[in-house]
A and B are shown apart, each in its own frame.
Chain A
Amino acid sequence: MTNARDEFDLRLTVNNVEVARRVPARMHLADFLREELGLTGTHLGCEHGICGACTVRVNGEIVRGCLMLAIQADGAAVETVEGVSESGEIADLQEAFHQRNALQCGFCTPGMLLAAADLVKRDPLASRDQIREHMSGNFCRCTGYHSIVDAVEAVCRARTGDARGRT
């Protein structure tokens, strides 16, 4: 049986950079990113998979960084808010969030942005209701969500070059 403290070699790419570390079996991915790599844009709000503040992308899918062990990401391509900011992939979302004040304390924001990026890529025709549904895995205690929905909606519309979404 694996002891939680047993260490394993881990190789993966994080934001397109190859990384190799030896990590304890019990270390979750968000702690790995924060503590080992200093990528503190990934936040921990609950560590039981509800709040979504630790949302990162693994092999193109958004996941809870607190519910995945670092060693489960062996060989994977992991992307964090720092990576998608630097690549410019979410520049339009960041601008829309900024213009509409779709954040206050900013603690949920990296996770929110990654969840929103997933939607605007997969379903840019989403209606307001569908945006609310998709963003419902991410808890924001400061805003009333209204401005977040506004921002995501604006990016959806801009990306499809259409003023209307699904109704």
Chain B
Amino acid sequence: MPGTHRRCAGTDMTASDKNGQANPLGPYIGASLPRPDARRLLHGRGRYTDDIKLARTAHVVFIRSPYAHAAITTIDFARAADSPGVIRIVTGADVAALCSPWVGVLTHLKGLKSAPQYPLAMGRARWQGEPVVAVVAETRALAEDAAQLVEIDWDPLTAVTDAEAALAPGSPVIHPDLGDNLAYQREVDTGGVEEAFAGAHKVVEATFKTSRHTPVPLEPRSILADYNPAEQQLTVYQSTQVPYMMQWILAKHFGLKETRVRVIAPDVGGGFGTKIHIYGDEMTAVALSIMLGRPVKFVSDRLESFVTDFHARGHRVKARMAVSGAGDIIGIEMDDLYGIGPYSGYPRGSANEAKQVLNLVGGPYRNRIYRGRTRVVFENKNMYGQYRAVGHPVACAVTEGLVDLAASAIGMDPAEFRYRNYIDAEAYPYALVTGPVFEKLSQHQAHEKLLELMDYAALRQEQKALRERGIYRGIGLAAFVEMSNPSSATYGQGGASIASQDGCTMKLTATGGITCAVSINEIGQGATAVISQVAASAVGVSPDNIKVVIGDTDVTPYGGGNWGSRGTGIGGEAVFQAGKALQQNILTFVALLTENEASMLGIRDGNVIEILTGKTLMTLEDVARTAYFRGDQVPRHFTPELVVTRHFAQKAYDGICTNGIQGCYLEVDVETGFVRLLRHWVVDDCGTIINPLLVDEQIRGGVVQGIGGALFEECIYSAHGQLTNGSLIDYLVPMACEMPDIEVGHVSTPTATSELGAKGAGEAGTAGAPAAIMNAINDALKPFGAFVTEQPFTPEKILRALGKV
């Protein structure tokens, strides 16, 4: 309960600062250190894209389609062009002359189709919010004034707004050239499904819905494009998670030399997947900078964000599960359907949710009889794509919802039911029937730890006692799996130029400091802290001596950036290997200078020492000074290499699967339908933990985003394709007063695919929370025989389930 706050119990498994044992990977691996870069943010000294001011910056605003589907008959901007401060007004064709269109397909998602998409609509708008006209002026306010004066004649067309209806014969087709509205379909059938269901002791089934929602990073999408025609150099400051992906795409679509495109990600105010996609308004800002030869800034306002930031998670899944009398899952069947936007997103496609839902329904359980189908449908709604924990919350809600139904059907406690059905601990590596391979999960351990943290048995007793007094509390569990550390299987193998590897260049500075230039970047998740702790551990210095340089394609090695819970697992390993290599080079040099064997030397606290005696031979400053300033003291045929670069890519599996389990305790007011969250627990296994402080709050933040989807968040579209709640007033997000204290525990199963052993932690919370909430609500409603499966679980839906409205 709030007010009886307890410290996390599980972090001591890896935190060397807590249990006093040295971590073999180095002294700062597992240390709960405050983030070195957080202080400037705490002093209001961050530098986000909109904080950057360049001389002669012009500001662009957009006129967007008010219709979900409409032909653009005429555009008249004569009056707008005369408005004070206006510099240029452009339409689709003007921008298309500079920027080639894109098609959001991945070749390894066979059959995924989409149509060419232009930065500004060309003759026809296909969703409410699609940019149509761009107005550039001396200030944003003047641009907005002028935008009011642009007159557009529209010819509204029938909007396709229901995924089911979009596939029905006779439905309007959004892109006639594509034949129909089906963007992608995949089926899996292991065989034996009919037999399993026919022979089952019980069959449970339900239709689950997850709502279309939007990530809402607090800093809106922002870009400042600065084209210098004299050098043909494009410099882009952008709130992005993926500088190198942006560099490649800007060069390709604007026909620029890649070496003349520099992308800088300054402080980024949250991403969650929003900032890994290509947006027409941002591409238009770049086009305008090229046209005008001066900087052009675009900062989305919150109303624009709602209708343009990629949406996600709006699935309808019909599913059923067969279970034996003993309580074993013996078959699962499911049919998934969801509507994307009018195009598949670029460059990552909009079918990855389909892939994950199809692959991961069945989660951490050993059942091998499975039939599934997923269909992805074009709709005249906002663009749609990857958002934190892509598809996982959907797969988890379906699986865990069925699991609770099955346990209930055979009269078994849901915790016990899960435990007996987990994949055998000895079965790893374990290939799913759908293809992916789990390297190693720790589901039994995580489960045991969670029940202990929750004091599950006591909670059940409390629940029972309160129920007799008319207080309806529910306990919900949700076991989850979460893919992280992706290989090139996610994008590169599908033809997208998105790196799955990352690199680190590490340098010994003249005073014995270490700089690390790394291709992952900071969106608040703690990349800077991870880099400094890993580098400090690998080299043998204090984290204070590490300077981290990130977010600039002119400066860092090549790499993938931040998506798919890959920063620590992939980028961290590159840093670790670079640190070890730099240490080795330093020791080789010092061994030569001091007539020692390098293998007898080490670096501790910034000093090169003899391992046996602990005696300091040289400080790192001495080493650097000798190398850089006193060439006369360096043996003539030896060149000290005090800058090294190392890269890392995870190649053994499509991704490294993390796992865990969540528990939720809540109370339902059966008169009002309101849900009060009392406590939430997570046990997560993300392998080696670099910094428990960061991991714990990442997981909590993920849980809260999952709770948002479960209880509040939904982009509500009218039948005509109008987003009816596109503001923070109407679209509810979780605030502090509604959220519970969240206790986090850990089990640590390092991945063997890297020396560091770290897996991702950014998405686990989001993957499991909605299912835990759903199961807890249904547990609370059990005495009434009421049941909910459609997120968000609003008071209205709960009252309807109770038959009270």
Contact = CB atoms under 8 A, between A and B. Distances in A.
A113 interface: yes
Interface stretch (B368-376, B659-667, B696-704, B714-722): B696-704
A104 B43 contact: no
Given A106-B267, A129-B2, A146 B272 contact: no
A47 B2 contact: no
Counting chain B CB atoms within 10 Å of each CB, the highest count among A27, A39, A47, A109 belongs to A109
A109 B739 CA distance: 18
B35 interface: yes
A99 B691 CA distance: 12
B326 interface: no
Contacts of B729: 48, 50
Interface stretch (A57-65, A67-75, A78-86): A78-86
Nearest to A147: B697
Given A48-B302, A144-B739, A105 B697 contact: no
B51 A106 contact: no
Contacts of A101: 34-35, 38, 526, 693-694, 696-697
A41 B694 contact: no
B705 interface: yes
A85 B44 contact: yes
A103 to B, nearest CB: 6
Nearest to B145: A5
Interface in B662-715: 693-694, 696-705
A150 B193 CA distance: 50
Interface stretch (B158-166, B349-357, B474-482, B730-738): B730-738
Interface residues of B, number: 62
Contact of A50 (B42, B523, B698, B728): B728
Contact of B42 (A42, A94, A129): A94
Contacts of A26: 141
B220 interface: yes
B524 A106 contact: yes
Contact of B48 (A104, A107, A141): A107
A53 B218 contact: yes
B2 A128 contact: yes
A80 B700 contact: no
Contacts of A120: none
B141 to A, nearest CB: 7
A16 to B, nearest CB: 16
A142 B42 contact: no
B700 A143 contact: yes
B728 A139 contact: yes
B700 A82 contact: no
B623 interface: no
B436 interface: no
B728 A46 contact: yes
B141 A107 contact: no
A143 B701 contact: yes
Given A136-B735, A141-B733, A41 B43 contact: yes
Contacts of B700: 143-147
A103 B42 contact: yes
Contact of A104 (B50, B141, B220, B525): B525
Counting chain B CB atoms within 10 Å of each CB, the highest count among A46, A136, A167 belongs to A46
A109 B733 CA distance: 17
Given A24-B141, A128-B3, A144-B703, A98 B34 contact: yes
Contacts of B737: 129, 132-133, 135-136
Interface in B1-36: 2-3, 5, 34-35
B218 A135 contact: no
A103 B693 CA distance: 11
B3 A98 contact: no
A156 interface: no
A21 interface: no
A104 B44 contact: no
User: Chain A binding site: helix, strand, loop or mixed by DSSP?
Assistant: loop
Given A45-B219, A141-B272, A127 B3 contact: yes
Interface string B265-282: 001111010000000000
B189 to A, nearest CB: 40
A40 interface: yes
B524 A142 contact: yes
Counting chain B CB atoms within 10 Å of each CB, the highest count among A46, A133, A142 belongs to A142
A153 B702 CA distance: 22
Contacts of B698: 104
Interface string A101-138: 11111111110010000000000000111011101111
B728 A105 contact: no
Contacts of B47: 40
A139 B44 CA distance: 17
Contact of A139 (B34, B699, B733): B733
A105 B734 CA distance: 17
A140 interface: yes
Contact of A105 (B39, B269, B739): B269
Contacts of B727: 46, 48, 50
A100 interface: yes
A81 B3 contact: no
A6 to B, nearest CB: 13
Given A48-B728, A107-B219, A145 B693 contact: no
Contacts of A127: 2-3
Given A43-B219, A43-B269, A106-B267, A146 B742 contact: yes
A97 interface: yes
A128 B679 CA distance: 13
B46 interface: yes
A80 B44 CA distance: 9
A135 B736 contact: yes
Contacts of B267: 105-106
Interface in A26-58: 26-27, 34, 38-48, 50-51, 53
A41 B43 CA distance: 8
B38 A103 contact: yes
A29 to B, nearest CB: 15
A104 B270 contact: yes
A106 B526 contact: no
Given A50-B729, A105-B524, A107-B270, A142 B44 contact: no
B45 A41 contact: yes
A149 interface: yes
A82 B41 CA distance: 11
A135 B218 CA distance: 16
B52 to A, nearest CB: 9
Contact of B728 (A51, A80, A97): A51
A155 interface: no
A27 B329 CA distance: 62
B736 A103 contact: no
Counting chain A CB atoms within 10 Å of each CB, the highest count among B42, B50, B267, B733 belongs to B42
Given A51-B218, A105-B524, A129-B2, A144 B41 contact: no
B741 interface: yes
B302 A41 contact: no
A40 B217 CA distance: 18
B42 A109 contact: yes
Closest 9 CB pairs between A and B?
A41-B44, A144-B700, A106-B41, A105-B524, A104-B524, A107-B269, A81-B44, A50-B728, A40-B51
30 contacts: A40-B46, A40-B50, A43-B48, A46-B728, A50-B727, A50-B728, A51-B218, A51-B728, A80-B44, A81-B43, A94-B42, A98-B39, A102-B697, A103-B42, A105-B41, A105-B217, A105-B524, A107-B46, A109-B42, A128-B5, A133-B737, A135-B737, A138-B735, A141-B217, A143-B701, A144-B700, A144-B703, A145-B735, A146-B697, A148-B736
Given A85-B42, A141-B215, 16 more contacts: A40-B50, A43-B48, A43-B219, A45-B220, A46-B727, A101-B38, A107-B219, A110-B44, A137-B735, A139-B218, A141-B216, A142-B218, A143-B700, A144-B742, A145-B734, A147-B697
Interface of A: 5, 24, 26-27, 34, 38-48, 50-51, 53, 80-82, 85, 94, 97-110, 113, 127-129, 131-133, 135-150, 153, 165, 167
